[in-house]
Amino acid sequence: MPNSDLLVASPPVSLSPQLVVRDGIPNSEFQRIEDRRRSNLLRGVQLKTRHEKFKKNRQNAEAALERSKRNEAWAKKELASFRSKMCKDEAEAQRMFGDVI
DSSP, residue by residue, 26-52: EHHHHHHHHHHHHHHHHHHHHHHHHHH
CA pair distance 22, 30, nearest whole angstrom: 7
Q: Is 70 helix (H, G, I), strand (E, B) or coil?
A: helix
Q: Mean pLDDT for each 10-residue chunk of the chain (101 residues)? A: 51 53 76 93 95 97 97 92 78 72 49
pLDDT at 11: 53
For the chain, domain boundaries: 21-97
**Summary mean pLDDT of the chain:** 80
Count CA within 13 A, CB hemisphere, residue 84.
Answer: 6
pLDDT in tens, 84-93: 777 777 777 7
pLDDT at 89: 75
